[in-house]
A and B are shown apart, each in its own frame.
Chain A
Amino acid sequence: MIEFARTVRLWFAPARIRREGSTPDYRFSLANERTFLAWLRTALALVGGGFAVDQFLPDLRWGWRVGLALALLAAGALCALRAVNHWVRCERAMRRGEDLPVSRFPALLGVVIAVVALAMVAVVLLGWEG
């Protein structure tokens, strides 16, 4: 948690990243940027999914519809914040010549999406009439 707070502080003092280590090959930086953008697209897709659940399953009971939509929206927001956090950590690791940070977030997100998908299958099959 302290480590996380330190990284968040780094978001808002970006000049401090530049002061560390040496500038890596620009191709590595651009690869890191593309990975960040891929995560951002994942976040946007989750946000879009939240909107879609709300709009394209109108026959669903209110609680289920809003619950699923909010779960997807929250996952999207979390994914976006995590994307920038991971980008900063990778950038710093590359400048210092360290190993890239490992993360359990992809596994967690996979499990969450699987649970939401299963819930949606169950809800669409069983709870359609509400």
Chain B
Amino acid sequence: MSRPAAPDRDPGLQPERTHLAWRRTTLSATVAAVLAVRAALHTGASPAAVAAAAVCGVLWTALLVLAHRRIRALAAAGSPAALPPAYAIAAALGTAAMAVCGAVLVL
């Protein structure tokens, strides 16, 4: 029951670098989500603004879950699998949806 250890390790730390790239991305999303909530509070909390900020919060949570799952997959033993296209599409569409919520908040 011994796992293949040392030769599996990538000397270029590619999975770790990818892990950190996901973390940086969630951090950027956090900044955007916080600004969205701030915008909703400052514009007098109209129903449309609150809804847009709530959607931003949901999108942010979804991105955190996505990043968490991807990081878990990267940390698994053996050479990591490529990013599933569904993850990439979800992350990109989520960001675009955040921009749409932003337009609602600004107008």
> B-contacting residues of A (Cβ < 8 Å)?
11-12, 14, 17, 23, 26-27, 29-34, 36-38, 40-41, 43-48, 50-52, 54-55, 66, 69-70, 73-74, 76-77, 80-81, 83-84, 87-88, 91
Bound-complex Cα distance A74 to B95 (A): 11
A29 to B99: give the CA distance in the assembly, Å.
28
Please tell me which one of the listed residues A55, A76, A84 contacts residue B99 in the complex, with CB atoms under 8 A apart.
A76
Question: Taking each of B21, B31, B85, which has the highest tally of chain A beta carbons within 10 Å of its own beta carbon?
Answer: B85
Query: Which of A31, A37, A48 gathers most chain B CB within 10 Å?
Result: A37
State whether B84 touches A47 (Cβ < 8 A): no
Given contacts A30-B82, A33-B88, A73-B106, could you give 19 more A-B pairs where the C-beta distance is less than 8 Å? Answer: A12-B89, A14-B84, A14-B86, A26-B14, A37-B21, A44-B29, A45-B28, A47-B98, A48-B28, A48-B31, A48-B32, A51-B36, A55-B39, A66-B107, A70-B106, A74-B103, A83-B92, A84-B91, A84-B93
When chains A and B are docked, how far (Å) is the Cα of A27 from the Cα of B106?
41
Q: Tell me the minimal C-beta distance from A124 to chain B in angstroms.
A: 18
If over half of B's interface residues share one DSSP class (helix, strand or loop), that class is named, otherwise mixed; here it is: helix
For the complex, is B3 an interface residue (Cβ under 8 Å from A)?
A: no
Proximity bits, B26-66, A CB within 8 Å = 1, else 0: 00110110011011001000000000000000000000000
What A residues does B35 contact at CB under 8 A? 48, 51-52, 55
Chain B interface residue count, CB cutoff 8 Å, equals: 42
Contact across chains for A55 and B14 when beta carbons are under 8 A apart: no
Q: Is the CB of B82 within 8 A of A26?
A: yes
Neighbouring A residues of B21 by C-beta, 8 Å: 33-34, 37-38
The residues of A that contact B95 with a CB separation of less than 8 Å are 40, 43-44, 47, 76-77, 80
* Contacting pair A36 B83 (CB below 8 A): yes
Distance to closest chain A CB from B23 (angstroms): 10
B59-90, CB under 8 A of A: which get 1 and which 0?
00000000000000000000111111110110
Task: Flag if B84 contacts A44 (CB, 8 Å).
Answer: no
User: Would you call A36 and B88 a contact (CB within 8 A)?
Assistant: yes
Closest to A38 in B: B21
In the complex, the answer to whether A37 meets B102 with C-beta atoms within 8 Å is no
Nearest A residue to B67, CB-CB = A37
